[in-house]
Structure 1
Amino acid sequence: MIHRTKPLFATAALHRVRARSRAVGLLASSLCLALAGSLSPSPAFAAGPAAGAHRPAPSDHIVLLALDGFDVEYLDKVPMPNLQHLLTRGTLTTSTGVMPSITNPSWSSIATGAWPEAHQNTAYWYNPATGVAVGQQRDLAVPTIAQAIRAQGGTVLSSQWFVVQNYGTAFGDPDGIYTQPGGDCPRRVDDAVAVLGGKPVSSGGKLVTAPKIPDLIAVYCDVLDALGHADGDIAPGIPDALRQIDAQIGRLVDAVKDADIYGRTTFVITGDHGMSTFTQGTDTAMLAAIAGAGYKAQILNAGQSPAADTDAVIVIGGVGSLHLVGDAANDPAAAERIKAALLTLPHVRAVYGKDAQRAMHMSPKFGELVIEPESGWSLGATPAGPRGVHGLTETLSVPLVLAGAGVRPNTPPQSPRHVDLAPTMAALLGIEPPSGSQGRVLTESIRVK
């Protein structure tokens, strides 16, 4: 059912979203000021108390639509009537992500309720134990919301929300079905619609039927991220992709209604990170600045190892993780000299030492320094045309929709963060949160009894 109504985002909701997005964009400069004096965590990253269990459950089921690269500014590109209709039973605000705002660690925080410092999922860093640069990985040190649901007698379907594969869901497991259909967003929604209708789905080449409608149904779509990387946040295909996503929201709502669980289902729609456009690269200037400080630096891609005479390796994933190696390893004076040299560059926004990284709850696997470029710039080479990038403080903010059972309409949560979503989903289902959760339950927006 497609609901034709006025455009959703010509409302006060968008102004709230944009205001919070701009506030997050100031985070890097705030951290630099903090480093000049007493370094205290930014409110956007302040840890909240762990959530407790709440019963009776406000909701029997949660449908999570996980949209990779869902930038806040996309909200007013096209009307999204199905989303607008859903919001008559809910709220729209933003969630503040984790640093760096990269896919795997971001979804890991959403799935576990833990900061990267705790779940340890780390992207784009150098492993001194192996001497090799690392890209993205799927390792987790703490349980996910899917594992928490399973441990307490519930069931889960993940249609390509890969962060819970083998962490509460698996190929061929009827109580925790994982499917990886590939294709576009409609193909992934197909699996959710099938399970809601009691039909089997292909899970690792085996047809599997869920024993009941799962407590959590997660659907992952990455079309926005793919378009953004290719052409930046102004990619011409984004409006059509948003229309397609809105149609899938309509399909999910209709399937929930057909399953006769609409009144007992909560809908959560969010992203992992935003997207920014860059047209310039500063790799040559960055390496020259480090050389001017007396050190040889080398940029590594995943799987590469440094040359024997290298003093510092940089692995780039939006930001750059700089690790001291060779004769410079574990030399705090070297780190300070390199940091000072980098801060003279006009297109370096900030350089975060270990204290600043801890203030942002970043993974301890990052190097002595984390380098962030200015907006419009990359730490790598200048591209042939506009490209998209994330991992930055300016791409921390994403839309967050909570709607349906257990949600207070028109009562948006206050400063929600990625780490708050797992404990909030657990509270909605009336179960204990994942054991490693560090976030809070968004009690101001949900009816927890």
Structure 2
Amino acid sequence: MKSKNKVFLGILVIVFILSGFMNLFSQWMGPGVDPEPANTPRRVILISLDSCNPEYLSPEYMPNLYRAIMEGGCKFQKAETVLSSCTVSGHTSMLSGAYVNTTGICGNGVRKSATEFTFFGQDPANRNASTLIESIEKSPLNESVDTFFICSKPITGVLATEADWVFVSKIQLALHNLQGTYGILSGGNALYINWQWDPNNYDEFAQSVGTAFGELEPCDSWIINGLVQGIKYETPYVDENSTKYFYFVNTAQIDDVGHTAGAFNPNMARHLRQMDGLLLKVFHTLKSLGKYESTLFIITSDHGMSNVESTFNIERALNEAGYYHEVNCFIQYEGNGVFLHLYNSSETDAVVNYLIQKNNELNVMDLILPKSQYPLYHLDNAANRTGDIFLSAKQGVSFITNGILAFQAGQHGGLSEQDIPLAFFGPKINNTGIIYNQNPVSVVDIVPTICNITGWPLPLEADGRILTEVIA
């Protein structure tokens, strides 16, 4: 009898423990809800992992993201960004679906005068092509699609125009003087800004997002927290006419780690695992709210990153041939890429021949491109901003000048950093696994593909094509 009591007691203990685990699991997953219909995306989340190399989207570095891609969609073996492979140019082409010769954004900045360089990121007037956000907001759909711009990089000023919700840091507000453009709410280290934001909810929201301090990778943490909170504040689904959502999300820390530690090292691997964990948080949030199956994800990057093993002083090399910066030419520095503006364009052939000869000696460049060949890389007619010659440093080599001598462990800007990841998963994505494409698809193909899937209006200036490979 005693043995039976012991067995019964043991069963009760096991049931109690299991019920506790189930309770904790239900709290972790969130309340049970009816899932949204999965036949068409209610929200599109475009995530740009700044400076992400294609190799990072792998089981080794980002297992949770890789699993989500393989289970719900596909990724291209070859995809590339525009030249120069920089933050502002890459993101502008990503959000507009247009090449550099259409957007006029050829790098992170532009030669403003004979001796002055300015960054593109602060003024939308520098951009000659509309973005998907602008295309949505200026169409009859503006009442039925809410647009979010969630970004930690200094590109908000040039690309966030017309967005319903903009998530920024106070540093960005100061850099871009966004006070004159958006309604601002005080308090917090990072915040959403919008004319219609309810101040009564702000304290709760700021507490949920947290601050950009006190964690190993704080910048990406509050960006992802901003995305999660945006998802939680969506209106409930009622029917096919319910509000839809577009989120553009930029995370910055892969770029920061790449510049300081290099593209492939234990520090980068550690950060990629943390980024993978943050994305898992997004997936869990969507699943707990019944929204995962109705969410279309696009994962990509503005450019890649290469390790720097040596440097080449392009200014000193030009000086040796009698071409002096701000005297005979202007050197527009874009990391591993350089736009060379000659004050006398008739000297282009002579400078090109000299640089070819120099490169034969040193083997430091993989592209010396005169203006006559710009159409091959969509650099022609870029609002006369691309100069007379474009130079790309060979992989492992980074350009420096007499004024820019800092040695970074990783850099981008040239041909080698054009390689980027591109993955789609979610509703309407009918291909699965890896697409082994021989010719690279482009960052400009993202917006046309989104518009084809959702029915949203395509920006008028878009150059890219619909990636039928993912929806066939």
TM range (shorter): 0.7 to 0.9
Partner residue, 2:377: 360
Map of 1:158-177 to 2, 5 A cutoff?
158-160=149-151, 162=156, 164-169=159-164, 170=166, 171=182, 172-173=193-194
Query: Please, which moves more after superposition, 266-275 or 370-379?
Result: 370-379
Deviations 1:329-363 (A, max 9, x none): 232xx111111111112223221111222221123
Instruction: Report whether the alignment pairs 1:157 with 2:177.
Output: no
- How far residue 324 of structure 1 moved from its aligned partner, in angstroms, is 1.3
Structure 1: which amino acid aligns with 2:219?
A: D
Map of 1:253-402 to 2, 5 A cutoff?
253-283=283-313, 286-293=314-321, 295-298=322-325, 306=326, 310-317=327-334, 318-325=336-343, 329-331=344-346, 334-345=347-358, 346=362, 347-362=364-379, 363=382, 364-380=384-400, 387-402=409-424
When the two structures are aligned, how many residues end up with a matched partner? 364
Change (3 A) 1:213 1:239: farther
Change (3 A) 1:360 1:176: farther
Structure 2: which amino acid aligns with 1:425?
A: I
SS at match of 1:398: coil
Structure 1: which amino acid aligns with 2:330?
A: V
SS at match of 1:269: strand
Q: Distance in 2 between matches of 1:387 and 1:270?
A: 23
TM-score using structure 1 length: 0.73
5+ residue gaps, structure 2, are 1-23, 26-38, 167-181, 183-192, 199-205, 213-217, 236-241
Partner residue, 2:51: 69
Change (3 A) 1:126 1:296: farther
Change (3 A) 1:91 1:445: same
SS at match of 1:435: coil
Q: Distance in 1 between matches of 2:461 and 2:82?
A: 16
> Is the contact made by 1:349 and 1:373 (CA closer than 8 Å) also made in structure 2?
yes
Change (3 A) 1:128 1:215: closer
Instruction: Report whether the alignment pairs 1:89 with 2:107.
Output: no
Q: Distance in 2 between matches of 1:279 and 1:80?
A: 29
Instruction: Report whether the alignment pairs 1:194 with 2:234.
Output: no
Instruction: Report whether the alignment pairs 1:405 with 2:431.
Output: no
Q: Distance in 2 between matches of 1:408 and 1:104?
A: 32
Q: Aligned Cα RMSD in Å?
A: 3.1
Structure 2: which amino acid aligns with 1:416?
A: V
Structure 2: which amino acid aligns with 1:117?
A: N
Structure 2: which amino acid aligns with 1:368?
A: D
- How far residue 260 of structure 1 moved from its aligned partner, in angstroms, is 2.3
> Is the contact made by 1:65 and 1:269 (CA closer than 8 Å) also made in structure 2?
yes
Query: Please, which moves more after superposition, 251-260 or 419-428?
Result: 251-260
Q: Give 1 or 2 for the bigger CA radius of gyration.
A: 2
Aligned to 2:469, which of 420, 441, 444? 444
> Is the contact made by 1:126 and 1:367 (CA closer than 8 Å) also made in structure 2?
no
> Is the contact made by 2:108 and 2:121 (CA closer than 8 Å) also made in structure 1?
no
Partner residue, 1:5: none
Q: Distance in 1 between matches of 2:299 and 2:46?
A: 6
Q: Distance in 2 between matches of 1:441 and 1:106?
A: 18
Q: Distance in 2 between matches of 1:191 and 1:174?
A: 18
> Is the contact made by 2:445 and 2:466 (CA closer than 8 Å) also made in structure 1?
yes
5+ residue gaps, structure 1, are 3-56, 201-211, 299-305
> Percentage identity across aligned positions?
19
Bigger proportion of residues as helix: 2
Query: Please, which moves more after superposition, 415-424 or 164-173?
Result: 164-173
Aligned to 1:247, which of 277, 286, 291? 277
- How far residue 365 of structure 1 moved from its aligned partner, in angstroms, is 0.7
> Is the contact made by 2:56 and 2:62 (CA closer than 8 Å) also made in structure 1?
no
Change (3 A) 1:343 1:437: same
Change (3 A) 1:296 1:246: same
Structure 2: which amino acid aligns with 1:198?
A: Y
Q: Distance in 2 between matches of 1:427 and 1:199?
A: 24
SS at match of 1:296: coil
- How far residue 197 of structure 1 moved from its aligned partner, in angstroms, is 1.3
Change (3 A) 1:113 1:100: same
> Is the contact made by 2:69 and 2:75 (CA closer than 8 Å) also made in structure 1?
no
Change (3 A) 1:263 1:130: same
SS at match of 1:408: coil
Aligned to 2:41, which of 54, 59, 64? 59
Query: Please, which moves more after superposition, 75-84 or 364-373?
Result: 75-84
Q: Distance in 2 between matches of 1:367 and 1:338?
A: 13
